[in-house]
Structure 1
């Protein structure tokens, strides 16, 4: 993701992203074969919402 492509996050989105990242880290400690696709998709959804909001603001 390029720097200009990075959306501006609200405080709630920052907290949700932080929680998901921590959850992913905890799962990664369980082993190499752990599926993290659900956490990745949730992070992508937050990014998409932030991009849509930024595009609407312009």
Structure 2
């Protein structure tokens, strides 16, 4: 699998990612952008990235187990 290809996600991972995207959207709506975007979303982005990375590791373990 190439590094830019998304791993297959479980139902739980999909739900988590949907939750994080919804929270990011909510924060984006709350940000008025008048003063350069003061709402920080880096914590949610890290959580999102962590779920994707865990899915990649899970797939690698499954592939090595075959």
Report the TM-score, using the length of structure 1 for normalisation. Answer: 0.89
Which one of 30, 41, 47 corresponds to residue 46 of structure 2? 41
Partner of 1:50: 55
- Counterpart-to-counterpart distance in 2, 1:36 and 1:43: 11
Aligned pair 1:11/2:11, yes or no?
Answer: yes
Structure 2 gap segments, 5+ residues each: 32-36
Q: Whose helix fraction is larger, Structure 1's or Structure 2's?
A: 1
Count of paired positions: 56
User: What value does the CA root-mean-square deviation take over the aligned residues?
Assistant: 1.2
Structure number with larger C-alpha Rg:
2
Q: Give distance in 2, aligned partners of 1:28 and 1:38.
A: 14
Gapped runs of 5+ residues in structure 1?
A: none
Distance 2:44 2:13 in 1: 14
Structure 2 Cα separation of the partners of residues 25 and 33 of structure 1: 14
